[in-house]
Amino acid sequence: MKRVITYGTFDLLHYGHINLLRRAKEQGDYLVVALSTDEFNWKEKHKKCYFSYEQRKQLLEAIRYVDLVIPEQNWEQKAKDIKEYHIDTFVMGDDWAGKFDFLRDEGCEVIYFNRTPEISSSQIKHDFREGISECSDMPYPSNQRRQKMRLFIWGTGRLVGKVVGKHIDIECVEGFIDNDTSKKEYMGKRVYSPNEMLEMEYDAICVANLYAGEIYGQCQSIGIDLRKVIFLYNNCAMQDMNRDYGFVETVLGREYAEIVKKRYHVVRGVEADGDLFLGEETGEYYSNDYVRIKSFELAVKEIRKRKIAGAVAEVGVFRGEFAQYINRAFPDSTCYLFDTFEGFDANEALDELKRGNCTNAFVEAYKQTNIGMVLDKMKHLDKIVIKQGFFPESLDGLEDVFIFVSLDVDFENSIYEGLKYFYPRVLEGGFIFVHDYNSDLAGVEKAVDRYESEQRVRLCKMPLCDANGTLVIMK
């Protein structure tokens, strides 16, 4: 008896699923379906099913092509399943082409089937959510086009976390693109190199990172059709890189298309004199966060003018983009860098998700860092003190006074604990920058309000109009 196995979620069962199961059964005599559990879908694939695992299992068991349904609980179980169930042939859709070739080492045939192009569970969910119907009065024929839309996202970093789950459903993403060829999988989807996209069929590529200019040139160089590329960030220099906002609206919807279109403005730079630390070496992150970094430079000027001395710190370092400027600005100050360097605390992230203050994709995106990546950006390494762990436990009895602190931890309780510790220890004339105060991370503003209320203090606050609505607090 020849045994075949396939894997999947099989939510909102449709004729594309039936085609896959029929073709899988034709490869042998006995078909095993490994069905993703609800926990696996949520924690690893970042998707929530319409039907529960037991309901999906009942539906599959009622299909004549299926002989056995087993749970899929992790990515690594495939080799074990092949041995345990004596599998001869492994079958998956062609969106995973090449990903599971290693299973041939288990003595198993690996086959990738073409997907049924005009139907998917992702599109069904998307259409339900958008309320699309054949009598839609939208200005573009989006009902027909979106059903066939193959969407890829270029990027695997923090900006993806701001887009996926809020503006683009992970179910609608075919895969991700990255120049780092060591990355094979992200958010449960395959990661492709730019050159691989030359052989792929797709409707749109959304660029969700801060390297729009470089990617624009790379697309021109290797022959990716720029008419199908949408730049979600850094899309404006003196001329918008996005060529057709009708196309952007068709892919992303009218509301998000307007956000992308209006995201950037040409800002006249300040021509300040005096003791400024930036000089000519502004760094690549400068143009992406001009208002915050330039405001920080002017705050540093004020601190130097007052001749106050103390330590500096950032809580929530991520990859060190802003911390590098803190370290440069205060070469004689101890610079404490607080972060897990592994992502958010799981319990706090879950609490923020339940409150609707962030998305699961956002949480996932901030795992992509490490200490080495941060230290590579620091100019005065002898002044760096790494405080790894969850704040405030990572303080570990630290007592110091501060002249500048950046709080960039995104979640309510961590921001609150940061203010509770640092504000009393900031010297008069010093500053605290609270990142994301005026943003979609609602917990940040709540934390500041809570601190003022519970500690019965009125902070001297000034909000900035930078990309993420930083709040400046002066002591």
Is the Cβ–Cβ distance between 113 and 20 less than 8 Å? yes
Quote the CA–CA distance of 394 and 169 in Å, as a whole number: 35
DSSP letters of 94-155? Answer: GGGTTTTGGGGGGT-EEEEEPP-TT--HHHHHHHHHHT--TT---SS-HHHHHHT--EEEE-
226: nearest Cα among 195, 205, 198: 205
* Token pair listed for 10: 């099989």
Phi, psi of 82, rounded to the nearest 5 degrees: -60, -40
Quote the CA–CA distance of 185 and 207 in Å, as a whole number: 17
Quote the CA–CA distance of 322 and 301 in Å, as a whole number: 17
Quote the CA–CA distance of 301 and 65 in Å, as a whole number: 72
Quote the CA–CA distance of 418 and 422 in Å, as a whole number: 6
In 263-403, alpha helices (H): 290-306, 323-329, 346-355, 360-365, 371-375
* Token pair listed for 70: 């087993």
CA atoms within 13 A on the CB side of 119: 12
Quote the CA–CA distance of 355 and 244 in Å, as a whole number: 36
So which residues are the catalytic ones?
Answer: 45, 47
Quote the CA–CA distance of 452 and 439 in Å, as a whole number: 19
Phi, psi of 302, rounded to the nearest 5 degrees: -65, -40
297: nearest Cα among 273, 314, 315: 273
Quote the CA–CA distance of 254 and 238 in Å, as a whole number: 24
Quote the CA–CA distance of 38 and 41 in Å, as a whole number: 5
Quote the CA–CA distance of 25 and 16 in Å, as a whole number: 14
Quote the CA–CA distance of 121 and 49 in Å, as a whole number: 10
Q: Give the pairing type, strands 335-339 and 402-407.
A: unpaired
Name the burial class of residue 85, with classes exposed (0-12), middle (13-18) and buried (19+) by CB atoms within 10 angstroms of its CB. Answer: middle
